[in-house]
Amino acid sequence: MGLMLFMVIIMSMALLYFLTMLPLELPGKTIGSAKECAGLYYLQVEDSSKELQANSCAVVSPNSFKSVKLWHYQLGHPNLRDAELIQRIGAATSLELRASGIHYTFAPCVAVCKDPRWGRCYESYSENTEIVRKMTSFVSGLQGQPPDNHPRGYPFVAGRNKIIACAKHFVGDGGTEKGVNEGNTILSYEDLEKIHMAPYVDCIAQGVSTIMVSYSSWNGVKLHGHHFLINEILKEKLGFKGFVISDWEGIDELCQPYGSDYRYCISTAINAGIDMVMVPFRCEKFMEELTSLVQSGEVPIVRIDDAVERILRVKFIAELFEFPLTDRSLLDTVGCKIHRDLAREAVRKSLVLLKNGKDPSKPFIPLNKKAKRILVSGTHANDIGYQCGGWTCTKYGSSGQITIGTTILDAVKEAVGHETEVIYEQYPSTNFIESNEFSFAIVAIGEAPYAECGGDNKELVIPFNGPKIINIVADKIPTLVILISGRPLVLEQSLLEKMEALVAAWLPGTEGQGITDVVFGDHDFKGKLPMTWFRSVEHLDQHVEGVNSCDPLFPLGYGLTCNKENSYD
């Protein structure tokens, strides 16, 4: 549809039809088929801060398809330092989402996480702004690469094989005090702009269609009601022409108790510049109050005009009027071998080798594929759910065989020779270890899945008696430890000294063979730390506060290779 038809539709719409564009109604947890509101299709959306591949859920993105692969989380991406690979991952994601009937994904998260105590640390690419900026190439993977003459600030979606992206959470969500989710970021405007706003400039330059506002506050003012940052900075100074969307019930947090003065919440958020509001439970109440606010003049009609124009602009550019439903011709891309191979490549390139041999002159990795007997142990060695983390199948994730994939245990069995015996014991005893002649052990331990506030963690210790398992095993046989986590965790020096090798695998997703590709030597390690690995939470406080004397366990950019003693970026 051309610009003329676009303007005719806008001019012919009545106020009530205008207002039906603003709420993104999310009844229950899923949107099955496309719904119509005033003749305009709702957006089918999915939260792919983890790049989930198929999903009919609006926000919490439970993956309802068992045949798909799940990418590793964003914190592993910047280890690659490979914007082109990130773009390819975005392109694969867009194909599988389109095949599932989903037009809109709540990704990428471009938060600059300054404190791993934050429960959404794994959704961030890095603590380093420049690394996060590089990883915004995910936007052009999802939406397509805009041409050189594309007007700056305007949304861009290349066609039916691409989807609408959403940069989030505007702005400063990764900089809250002590990493408290939905907390307060205390910074000057100059620092906010330099550290946390810069990635949005890159997203806008790539034609990102939508931007989501953060639950958090900046210097005590909630972002969902921040007229200066949303309207004056994002829309006017940065020239963003797509639409601004709230987070899930985000406007309710503008008053205390949450949502108690709903009329105030609505007027404050809309007047601040939010164009579309996620309303999971009170859509009728929202429409009633917003209509009254417009009729009373408390929300100017020009504000509604602006919001509707922005929403329709994105829908036209994404061709949602012409092609509102599932493209069945793309179904073969869902979980296809090409995409699984891409996910496997991303896993092996994201791994960070932190230690290789008690004696640096005698590296422990690559492991011997022809070893007589290998012990595989630990809570995370045979658990797809733990490999995937939060926002997988449910908001908070779960354990077990939640979808099709390859566990670390299965990957080890596939990697070794036929003569090698692989024995799995999740919690091996000293007697068990001594009664077998193991060549070496692989211990996989780490965090349980979590999301948002449920992941805020003041201690950052390895759970599930992980250190105890390492001590028992490493006391008796040479041991490689694979840490599955959404962030750096406390590693006691005594524990680190006992193990022969340590690999940070982050949350690798379903393709466990990406890990064995590297630890058994088919590929070398390429990953570098996206965050500083602190010695203790006390050291972490000093690092976050910028104390120059802080001595980290491993610095930002650290990562060994098998071919060199050290490789530091």
Q: How confident is the model at residue 360 (pLDDT cuts 50, 70, 90)?
A: confident
pLDDT band for position 394 (cuts 50, 70, 90): confident
More confident residue, 96 or 566: 96
Q: Dihedral of CA 112/115/116/119: which sign? A: negative
- Report whether 399 contacts 385 (CB < 8 A): yes
Paired tokens of 202: 């890159």
pLDDT at 36: 30
Residue with tokens 């590793």: 72
CA distances from 317 to 80, 87, 106, 310 (A): 32, 20, 17, 11
Q: Check pLDDT > 60 for residue 569.
A: no
pLDDT at 385: 96
Q: Pick the range with the lowest mean pLDDT from 39-43, 155-159, 175-179, 228-232.
A: 39-43
Question: Of 25, 452, 511, 517, which one is the catalytic site residue?
Answer: 452
Greater pLDDT, 350 or 21: 350
Dump strand ranges (E) for 201-265.
210-213, 217-218, 221-222, 243-245
Cα–Cα distance for residue pair 419/194, rounded to 1 Å: 57
Produce one character per residue of 156-172: b if its CB has 16 or more CB atoms within 10 Å, e if not.
Answer: bbbeebbbbbbbbbbbb
Q: Count of residues for the chain?
A: 569
Report whether 150 contacts 205 (CB < 8 A). Answer: no
pLDDT the model gives residue 383:
98
- Asked whether the predicted pLDDT for residue 38 surpasses 50, the reply is no
pLDDT of residue 260: 96
Examine the residue annotation and report whether 247 is marked as an active-site residue of this protein. Answer: yes
DSSP letter for 416, please. Answer: S
Nearest to 424, CA basis, from 409, 445, 446: 409
Question: What does the pLDDT look like over 510-556, one tens digit per residue?
Answer: 999 999 999 999 999 999 999 999 999 988 877 776 666 578 999 99
pLDDT for 47: 57
Which one is catalytic: 127, 247, 289, 500? 247
Q: Are strands 277-279 and 23-25 parallel, antiparallel or unpaired?
A: parallel
Q: Which residues contact 18 (CB under 8 A, 6 or more apart)?
A: 304, 305, 308
Catalytic status, residue 452: yes
For residues 3-19, average pLDDT: 55
* Mean pLDDT in residue range 336-341: 94
Q: Is the pLDDT of residue 73 over 80?
A: no
Query: What per-residue confidence (pLDDT) applies to 55?
Result: 27
Please give the pLDDT value at position 444. Answer: 99
In this model, does residue 247 exceed pLDDT 70?
A: yes
How does the average pLDDT of the chain come out, rounded? 88
Average pLDDT over residues 410-423: 98
Token reading at 439: 């060549």
Residue 160: pLDDT over 50: yes
46/553: higher pLDDT: 553
Answer whether 72's CB lies under 8 Å from 95's CB: no
93 pLDDT more than 90: yes
User: Among 115-129, 289-303, 473-487, 533-547, which stretch is predicted with the lowest mean pLDDT?
Assistant: 533-547
Return the minimum-mean-pLDDT range out of 55-69, 207-221, 397-411: 55-69
Query: Which of these, 31, 14, 28, lies nearest to 325 by C-alpha position?
Result: 31
Q: In which band, very low, low, confident or very high, does the pLDDT at 51 lie, cut at 50, 70 and 90?
A: very low
Backbone angles phi, psi at 306, to 5 degrees: -65, -45
The rounded distance, in Å, linking the Cα atoms of 387 and 511 is 9
pLDDT given at position 50: 37
Identify whether the C-beta of residue 201 lies closer than 8 Å to the C-beta of residue 170.
Answer: no
User: 179-226: per-residue pLDDT in tens?
Assistant: 999 999 999 999 999 999 999 999 999 999 999 999 999 999 999 999
Nearest in space to 79 (alpha carbons), one of 123, 122, 131, 136: 131
Compute the average pLDDT of residues 11-18.
Answer: 56
Residue 280 has pLDDT above 50, yes or no: yes
- pLDDT, mean of residues 216-245: 99
CB 142 within 8 A of CB 86: no
Give the Cα separation of 225 and 248 in Å (integer).
14
Report pLDDT for 197. Answer: 99
Q: Which of 247, 249, 251, 163 is nearest to 209 (CA)?
A: 163
Listed in sequence order, the residues at least 6 apart from 188 whose beta carbon sits closer than 8 Å to its beta carbon are: none
Q: What is the pLDDT of residues 438-461, one digit of tens each?
A: 999 999 999 999 999 999 999 999
**Mean pLDDT calculated for residue range 71-76:** 62
Average pLDDT over residues 148-160: 96
Amino acid residing at 490: V
Domains of the chain and CATH, by start: 13-332 (3.20.20.300), 351-568 (3.40.50.1700)
Place 162 in a pLDDT band, splitting at 50, 70 and 90. Answer: very high
Judge whether residue 307 has pLDDT over 50.
yes
pLDDT of res. 402: 87
What distance in Å separates the CA atoms of residue 323 and residue 226, rounded to the nearest whole number? 35
Residue 21, CB-side half-sphere exposure with 13 Å CA sphere: 25
Is 367 within 8 Å of 439 (Cβ atoms)? no
- Whole-angstrom distance, CA of residue 25 vs CA of residue 283: 6
Name which of 221, 106, 109, 87 is nearest 158 in CA terms: 87
Q: What is the secondary structure of 169-230 as a DSSP string?
A: EETTGGG-GGG-TT-EE---HHHIIIIIIHHHHHHHHTT--EEEEPSSEETTEEGGG-HIII
